[in-house]
């Protein structure tokens, strides 16, 4: 960040005032910093005709600010904590909390009035508020109201509403305290979680030591407890969940509201404990209220206002609890002690990343480990904030290997993972989707070889979830099809850890399909049976082979390669015809796919003769005879080829997609990462004087994106480019411009810097001014060619840096040395250099490199690779080059 700090803020007056509080603090404590505000209108600010639950929730107030942080246009964002979604991206941690302003809700009257006018509706968009207001004002009607505070006040004074319910904190910060007609006590109206607290959000890995002293420990503890309570109940903007915590005599006192939609009823309760137990307190209270409600609900529809008060000094299962919690109408209203119904504090805390808390007299007691519980899953800036308070596990099926068979839901969940526990059978292309920064745990399960025993894997899932993490258990195929997912769920359930299961495409279906074998066919069979071929060493099969033979259906044995002789012998002894077609299918859906088709009697001998590698599946049935007729995968031009594609980390690889369409297995290596230079005063100055340039020159799609992000930041649109012509280095850059309705005036025939420079030099006039926003390590041949034009003025402005990337999941060096990768595709000289940095010690003569252009080929040649160059500098031409090389191999072979 150097000494310049840009703070992102919504553009409403209240948001700006709140952000300026942070600006003022930094300027006062660190005068050496230059601090500025970047304001913007969020989607939530623009959609005012619908309530938040109808348009996407609280995330609509932060996504534009989040993007600015991720893009490097801002260094911090300031939010009202109550407006923050409960799930915060790990790469954008919350780094400081302000001292809490008045957290209460208030009633505001129209100007000149000293009481609400209940002949008109009360403006209130929150169901949380409405539920509690109905207890206080049963005669009132409530109507949604949107807009910022000043907009709402104007609607009130114009006679649209008889009163408004607002947050005291916002009115006080706006200097409008005199508009408050009545304060609601926290007991009357539990506020939204985080109300009155400002939160500062930053980027993972940055140094925010300059904010030391801005935050407050009391606010931090309150925020953790309140958000854990709401998160545990899956509360959002549309859910009337409420929580408020405050310190009293060194203890954290937490109140919460639980709402049950099916009965339209709610409960209130409270508990207390040490501030270090904040998250565990939130989860405990939420779970206790939810369990008590389910135990005591009457099932009466419209039962509004059931209130249970949980006294912190009561016994965990007091002898008078029955009388205490049951009101005169049989509902849950009443006073008295705390009844947990067997839900101990230790269990309640387990899903929250906390350990060791127990229920008892005087609130919560603590065992030694509890003091350190808040540190689990901490971010670099503020302990406990980078991850959700209550962890969760997803059992995700990764499919058989082809990334095209990975489900959309599985991919979306994997993108958000903080911990990934993965098997050896997960395809490399899917492993490459694991987000940067996620903790990786390889449990390496293969037949007769487990990196960790299953019991330890189960414990790993529990431990990581208790640390408050989003844990993805990534399994080849499907989690429940001999994947032992059920065993893992048993321990998660016992520890009350939330989980979801995302089914995967099983190899039992996909691998035969990729080999031209339909597992069912009306002319051959009417059933399919999937059997585990794995057995414990030294033990006999516990399989009823006679029953399988009687089905006359297709039999698929998973994990049965080593037991092939036993399987064939068992089927033959059970009466299976010796000439029944059978197949063994190796590494299906990948470049290593191989098929051996024989009979039950001869399959073992054919496997010994031809050889087979694991993983493989065995298929027995008449449908196997269709493989040669129905084969399709092997007929694709790049079938059986494994190709490495290097790319910038932040880009989706179109090259990989084109190669996969031809049948190749593609391993994507994020060799480089582009990082925008921010702040960029040189670019900002150039944009301010765009009218002076005769030419804009773009040398990469990334350069186009960053330039137009900067243009937007300076609040300029396409009209600012009216006086300039545009040159682009190639088709990819040209497409990026065309997406913005801009069509280049010049694209050279050869797509490299030297050709672009020569082509542009031919059309430049003496004295022309040229702007080139591009990478900091841009090719100098472009500049040298342009400098041949008399009196030309060139502004060569660096807009992004190129950083070389490494990853630990896949050993590319070993893959090349073993001959598993046929070709490596490079689309720029920088990706060649990034690849070299990622595989130190590799003998580059083993790399067959297909290069997009002359400069890329030169970089590969310099490393000693065996190089080939596409006819044109386009992705289609590169794919054609790979295809031609593979055809020559086939012909020569």
Q: Are 47 and 237 in contact (CB under 8 A)?
A: no
Indicate the length of the chain as a whole number.
893
How far apart are alpha carbons 410 and 390 in whole angstroms?
A: 21
Please, what's the b/e burial string for 778-796 (b: 16 or more CB within 10 A of its CB; e: otherwise)? bbebbeebbeebeebebbb
Three-class SS of residue 544? coil
Axis crossing angle, helix 731-738 with helix 701-713, rounded to the nearest 10: 30
| Torsion, CA 839, CA 844, CA 848, CA 854, rounded to 10 | 100
C-alpha to C-alpha distances, 789 to 723, 763, 786, nearest whole angstrom: 20, 10, 6
Q: What is the DSSP letter of 179?
A: G
Cβ-based neighbours of 132, under 8 Å, separated by 6 or more: 188, 189, 190, 242, 257
How far apart are alpha carbons 576 and 177 in whole angstroms?
A: 87
E strands in 11-160: 34-40, 76-80, 94-97, 105-108, 122-123, 142-143
Q: Any catalytic annotation for residue 423? A: yes
How many C-beta atoms lie closer than 10 Å to residue 368's C-beta? 7
CA atoms within 13 A on the CB side of 639: 14
Q: Are 596 and 584 in contact (CB under 8 A)?
A: yes
Can you say how many angstroms the Cα of residue 68 is from the centroid of all Cα atoms in its chain?
A: 17
Q: What is the DSSP letter of 477?
A: B
How far apart are alpha carbons 656 and 674 in whole angstroms?
A: 19
For tokens 């419209």, the residue is 302
How far apart are alpha carbons 534 and 616 in whole angstroms?
A: 12
How far apart are alpha carbons 639 and 657 in whole angstroms?
A: 14
Q: Are 36 and 3 in contact (CB under 8 A)?
A: no
Strands of 242-248's sheet, edge to edge?
A: 242-248, 251-260, 265-273
Cβ-based neighbours of 108, under 8 Å, separated by 6 or more: 153, 156, 163, 164, 165, 166, 171, 179, 180, 181
CA atoms within 13 A on the CB side of 329: 12
**Residues β-bridged to residue 850:** 825, 868
Vertex 189 angle, CA 186 and 195, to 5° = 70
Catalytic entry in 423, 709, 752, 768: 423
Q: What is the DSSP code string of 398-420?
A: -BSS-GGGS-HHHHHHHHT-SEE
Q: What is the DSSP letter of 432?
A: T
Tokens representing residue 651 in the block = 């880009």
How far apart are alpha carbons 281 and 274 in whole angstroms?
A: 9
Q: Any catalytic annotation for residue 544? A: no
Among 195, 198, 151, 161, residue whose Cα is nearest residue 181: 161
Catalytic entry in 251, 392, 445, 466: 445
Q: What is the DSSP letter of 765?
A: P
Q: Are 70 and 705 in contact (CB under 8 A)?
A: no
Measured in degrees and rounded to the nearest 5, phi and psi for residue 819 equal 75, 20
Strands of 419-422's sheet, edge to edge?
A: 439-442, 419-422, 470-475, 392-397, 499-502
Among 561, 606, 620, 556, residue whose Cα is nearest residue 586: 561
Among 448, 446, 445, residue whose Cα is nearest residue 460: 445
Residues with a catalytic annotation lie at 423, 445
């Amino acid at each position: 960040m150097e000494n310049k700090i840009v703070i992102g803020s919504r553009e409403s007056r209240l948001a700006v005032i709140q952000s300026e509080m942070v600006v003022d603090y930094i300027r006062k404590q660190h005068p050496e910093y230059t601090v500025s505000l970047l304001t913007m209108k969020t989607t939530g600010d623009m959609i005012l005709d619908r309530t938040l639950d109808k348009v996407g929730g609280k995330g609509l107030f932060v996504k534009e600010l989040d993007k600015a942080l991720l893009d490097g246009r801002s260094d911090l964002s300031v939010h009202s904590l109550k407006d923050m979604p409960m799930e915060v991206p790990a790469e954008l941690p919350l780094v400081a909390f302000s001292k809490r302003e008045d957290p209460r809700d208030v009633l505001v009257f129209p100007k000149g009035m000293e009481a609400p006018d209940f002949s008109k509706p009360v403006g209130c968009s929150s169901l949380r508020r409405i539920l509690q207001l109905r207890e206080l004002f049963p005669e009132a009607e409530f109507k949604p109201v949107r807009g910022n505070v000043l907009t709402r006040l104007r609607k009130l004074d114009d006679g649209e509403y008889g009163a408004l319910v607002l947050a005291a904190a916002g009115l006080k910060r706006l200097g409008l305290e005199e508009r408050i007609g009545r304060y609601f006590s926290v007991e009357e109206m539990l506020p939204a979680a985080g109300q009155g607290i400002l939160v500062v959000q930053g980027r993972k890995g940055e140094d925010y030591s300059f904010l030391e002293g801005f935050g407050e420990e009391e606010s931090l503890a309150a925020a953790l407890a309140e958000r854990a309570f709401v998160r545990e109940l899956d509360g959002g903007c549309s859910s009337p969940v409420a929580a408020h915590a405050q310190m009293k005599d060194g203890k954290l006192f937490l109140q919460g509201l639980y709402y049950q939609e099916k009965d339209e009823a709610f409960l209130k309760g409270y508990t207390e404990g040490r501030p270090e137990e904040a998250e565990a307190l939130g989860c405990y209270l939420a779970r206790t209220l939810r369990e008590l409600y389910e135990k005591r609900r009457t099932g009466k529809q419209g039962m509004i206002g059931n209130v249970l008060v949980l006294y912190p000094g009561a016994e965990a299962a007091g002898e008078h609890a029955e009388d205490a919690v049951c009101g005169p109408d049989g509902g849950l209203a009443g006073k008295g002690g705390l009844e947990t119904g067997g839900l101990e504090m230790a269990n309640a805390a387990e899903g929250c990343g906390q350990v060791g808390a127990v229920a008892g007299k005087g609130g919560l007691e603590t065992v030694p480990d509890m003091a350190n519980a808040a540190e689990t899953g901490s971010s670099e800036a503020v302990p406990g904030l980078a991850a959700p308070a209550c962890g969760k596990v997803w059992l995700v099926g990764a499919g058989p290997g082809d990334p095209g068979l990975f489900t959309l839901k599985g991919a979306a969940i994997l993108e958000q993972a903080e911990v990934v526990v993965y098997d050896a059978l997960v395809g490399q292309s899917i492993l490459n989707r694991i987000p940067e920064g996620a903790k990786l745990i390889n449990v390496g399960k293969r037949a007769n070889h487990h990196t960790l025993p299953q019991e330890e894997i189960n414990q790993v899932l529990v431990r990581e979830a208790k640390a408050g993490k989003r844990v993805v258990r990534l399994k080849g195929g499907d989690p429940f099809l001999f994947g032992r997912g059920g065993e893992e769920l048993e321990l998660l359930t016992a520890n009350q850890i939330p989980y979801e299961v995302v089914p995967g495409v099983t190899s039992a279906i996909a691998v035969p399909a990729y080999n031209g074998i339909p597992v069912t066919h009306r002319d051959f069979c009417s059933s399919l049976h999937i059997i585990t071929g794995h057995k414990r060493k030294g033990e006999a099969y516990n399989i009823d082979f006679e029953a399988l033979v009687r089905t006359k259906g297709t039999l698929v044995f998973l994990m049965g390669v080593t037991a092939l002789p036993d399987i064939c012998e068992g089927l033959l002894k059970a009466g299976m015809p010796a000439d029944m077609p059978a197949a063994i299918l190796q590494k299906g859906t990948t470049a290593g796919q191989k098929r051996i088709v024989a009979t039950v009697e001869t399959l073992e001998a054919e496997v010994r003769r031809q050889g087979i590698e694991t993983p493989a599946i065995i298929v027995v049935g008449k449908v196997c005879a269709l493989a040669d007729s129905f084969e399709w995968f092997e007929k694709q031009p790049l079938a059986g080829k494994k190709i490495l594609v290097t790319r910038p980390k932040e880009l989706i690889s179109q090259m990989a997609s084109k190669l996969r369409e031809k049948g190749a297995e593609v391993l994507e290596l994020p060799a480089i990462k582009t990082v925008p230079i921010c702040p960029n005063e040189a670019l900002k100055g150039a944009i301010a004087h765009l009218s002076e340039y005769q030419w804009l020159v773009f040398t990469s799609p990334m350069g186009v994106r960053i330039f137009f992000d900067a243009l937007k930041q300076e609040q300029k649109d396409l009209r600012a480019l009216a006086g300039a012509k545009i040159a682009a280095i190639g088709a990819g850059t040209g497409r990026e411009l065309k997406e913005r309705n801009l069509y280049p005036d010049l694209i050279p025939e050869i797509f490299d810097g030297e050709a672009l420079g020569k082509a542009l030099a031919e059309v430049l006039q003496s004295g022309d001014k040229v702007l080139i926003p591009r990478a900091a390590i841009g090719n100098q041949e472009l500049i040298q060619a342009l400098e041949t034009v008399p009196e030309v003025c060139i502004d060569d402005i660096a807009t992004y840096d190129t950083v070389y990337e490494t990853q630990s999941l896949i050993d590319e060096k070993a893959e090349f040395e073993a001959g598993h990768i046929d070709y490596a595709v490079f689309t720029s000289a920088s990706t060649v250099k990034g690849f070299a940095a990622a595989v130190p010690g590799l003998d580059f003569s083993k790399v067959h490199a297909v290069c997009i252009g002359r400069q890329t080929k030169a970089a590969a040649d310099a490393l000693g690779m065996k190089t080939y160059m596409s006819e044109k500098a386009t992705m289609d031409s590169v794919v054609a080059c790979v295809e031609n090389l593979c055809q020559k191999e086939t012909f020569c072979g």
